[in-house]
């Protein structure tokens, strides 16, 4: 006789998502950098900032910061990023 089990998993379908189209070039683009406020993040992002401008001709680098890496970005930070209308956002994820 076969057994019947109760599904113990979250059964919602995974939300579908896809990466936005890649920029053809970052030359002249406005790029946002999101520092998640992990120690050393600003050191890394300062270098990325400089490289984007010097090596890739990015016209403007905008800097944003989460108040803590331990929690999701608050709506205010996301709103600030959206309102700045960057062509792309780079999130410095961790350490």
Partner 1 sequence: MSMLANGVTAPPVPGLTLSGPTLLAFFKTDCPACHLALRYLDGLSRSIGSGDRVVAVSQDERASTDELMRSLGADLSLRFDHDLAASAGFGLEAVPALFLLDESGRVLASSQGFDKADLNRLGGELAKLLEVPAPELARPGDGNPDFQPGCVSRHLEPESDAVAAEIPDLYSRRAGRASRIDLPADADAEEWCYESGYADPLPVVPPTVGRVERMLAASGLTPDEVVAHVPPNFGAASAEKIAANAVMAGCRPEYMRVLVPAVRALCDERLDIHGVQGTTHFAAPLAIVNGPVRLELGFACGSNVFSNAARANSTIGRALQLILRNLGGAAPGRIDMSTMGNPGRFSFVIGENEEVSPWGPLAEDFGIAAGCNAVTFFCAEPPRPVSEHKAREPRVLLRAICPVLANLWSYRVCKRSEAVVVIGPEHAATLDRGGFTKRDVVEFLFENTGVPVSEYDGDGGEGTHEAGYYDECVIRGMRCYRKFRRPESIRVMVAGGPAGKFSAVLGSWATGPRGSQMVSYQFE
Binding site for partner 1 (CB under 8 A): 1-12, 15, 39, 67-72, 75, 94-95
Q: How near is the Cβ of 60 to partner 1 at its closest, in Å?
A: 22
Nearest to partner 1 of 27, 95 (CB atom): 95
Q: Are 89 and 60 in contact (CB under 8 A)?
A: no
Name the 3-class secondary structure at 45.
helix
How far apart CA 61 and CA 55 sit, in angstroms, is 13
How far apart CA 95 and CA 86 sit, in angstroms, is 24
Q: How near is the Cβ of 83 to partner 1 at its closest, in Å?
A: 10
Nearest to partner 1 of 1, 19 (CB atom): 1
Nearest to partner 1 of 10, 54 (CB atom): 10
Which tokens hold the place of 30?
A: 């406005």
Residue 8 sits at φ, ψ, to 5 deg, of -90, 0
Q: How near is the Cβ of 64 to partner 1 at its closest, in Å?
A: 17
Q: How near is the Cβ of 28 to partner 1 at its closest, in Å?
A: 24
């Amino acid at each position: 006789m076969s057994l019947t089990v109760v599904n113990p998993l979250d059964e919602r379908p995974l939300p579908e998502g896809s990466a936005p189209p890649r920029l053809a070039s970052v030359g002249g683009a406005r790029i946002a950098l999101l520092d998640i406020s992990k120690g050393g993040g600003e050191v890394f992002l300062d270098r990325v900032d400089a490289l984007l401008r010097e090596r890739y001709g990015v016209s403007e680098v905008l800097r944003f910061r989460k108040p803590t890496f331990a929690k999701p970005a608050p709506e205010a930070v996301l709103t600030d990023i959206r309102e700045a209308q960057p062509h792309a956002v780079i999130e410095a994820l961790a350490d």
